[in-house]
Amino acid sequence: MTRSGAQSPASTDRHVITREAYGTDAHLAARQRLYQAQHPRHDLPAIAADHLAGANGIVADIGCGNGWYLRHLRQHRPDLVVVGVDLSAGILAEQRPPLVVADAQALPFASGSLHAVLVMHMLYHLPDPDTGLRELARVLTPDGTLITSTNARADKRELDQLWSQAAADVLGLPEGPHRISLSQRFPLDDAPARLARYFDDVRLVHLPGVISVTEPAPAIAHFASYQAWAADSGVPFEPTLARAEQRLTETIERDGAFTITCQSGMLICRTPAEPRT
Ligand SMILES: C[S@@+](CC[C@H](N)C(=O)[O-])C[C@H]1O[C@@H](n2cnc3c(N)ncnc32)[C@H](O)[C@@H]1O
């Protein structure tokens, strides 16, 4: 199976998103924790806030999850009205208002009413990211700012290899299926061209880093956070998780650490004066 073959239809399924994957922030938080060991560490909410220096009025964080960006913006930009939006009511439970439960593809905002939107690590959950991009262009003011983020195809490739090897062991095959890769529906590699269909002045900020894990737990918790999509993984999930932990433990005992190469990025663009069709 190719890497692109590991896109999960369930990664866009509303029921899976709202009940299993993001019913609470447990799985998202497990993925966020892995980045605490990244070098260099990137303060993503601060980087996004820098690009909102000229913004005023209403800013919406669409797919805000557990509010990492919301908290930073509300603390550092009290002059803005920062609205958190997510498809999952459950993940918004701990957030402060204003909050809206809504689908990024049909936003309950008037056309031209938002001065900026954030859509961080989220567009790849849409069945058709272009539908979402058109909707975002609609709700933004002319010359409004859109900030988004995603991962490159080669992001965390060492984890992909580890999972495939573990899956191969479990299945008794020379090569196992790739793990579910959410960002493949909207990878960083393609994002500038896709955004340029609807927005002007697309700028890409690369955010590379390396994570060196010296114990298996954070990487295994990262794998386990994909449990909502286990049925699409093409392999018994729990046994593969256990085998990956064995392999990772052996690697760390032998080499002292397991290195993961991160390739993500943030994109900043502007709404054109005249909407594109
Ligand atoms: C990977 S998390 C990213 C959370 C946050 N933006 C961050 O970067 O930390 C994706 C979020 O998008 C939300 N989401 C998925 N599909 C959505 C949709 N169609 N409309 C709005 N939110 C959606 C999920 O519930 C989840 O909270």
In a domain, 9, yes or no: yes
pLDDT given for residue 7 in this prediction: 53
Reported confidence tier of residue 3, pLDDT bands at 50, 70, 90: very low
In a domain, 163, yes or no: yes
* Ligand 1 atom index nearest CA of 18: 25
The end-to-end CA distance of the chain, in Å, is: 36
Per-residue CA distances from 199 to 120, 153, 191 (Å) = 16, 23, 12
Quote the number of domains for the chain.
Answer: 1
Place of tokens 């557990």: 66
Atom 27 in ligand 1: residue holding the nearest Cα: 65
pLDDT given for residue 233 in this prediction: 86
pLDDT given for residue 8 in this prediction: 55
Q: Is 125 in the pocket of ligand 1 (CB under 6 A)?
A: yes
Place of tokens 């056309």: 111
Q: Is 44 in the pocket of ligand 1 (CB under 6 A)?
A: no
3-state secondary structure of 83: strand
Place of tokens 């199976």: 1
Residues 109-131 have a mean pLDDT of: 97
Least confident span in 3-17, 18-32, 238-252, 257-271: 3-17
* Structural domain range at position 72: 4-270
In a domain, 218, yes or no: yes
pLDDT tens profile 38-67: 999 999 999 999 999 999 999 999 999 999
pLDDT tens profile 63-104: 999 999 999 999 999 999 999 999 999 999 999 999 999 999
Reported confidence tier of residue 26, pLDDT bands at 50, 70, 90: very high
Tell me 215's DSSP state.
S
For residue 64, how far is its CA from the centre of ligand 1 (angstroms)?
A: 6
In a domain, 275, yes or no: no
For residue 256, how far is its CA from the centre of ligand 1 (angstroms)?
A: 35
In a domain, 276, yes or no: no
In a domain, 277, yes or no: no
Q: Assess whether pLDDT exceeds 60 at residue 2.
A: no
pLDDT tens profile 123-165: 999 999 999 999 999 999 999 999 999 999 999 999 999 999 9
Determine the Cα–Cα distance for residues 70 and 251; give it in Å rounded to an integer.
38
Q: Assess whether pLDDT exceeds 70 at residue 6.
A: no
Q: Is 230 in the pocket of ligand 1 (CB under 6 A)?
A: no
pLDDT given for residue 277 in this prediction: 65
Share of the chain above pLDDT 70, in %: 96
Residues 162-177 have a mean pLDDT of: 96
pLDDT tens profile 228-268: 998 888 899 999 999 999 999 999 999 999 999 999 999 99
For residue 86, how far is its CA from the centre of ligand 1 (angstroms)?
A: 6
| Angle made by CA atoms 125, 130, 136, in degrees to the nearest 5 | 85
Residue 248 belongs to a domain with what CATH number? 3.40.50.150
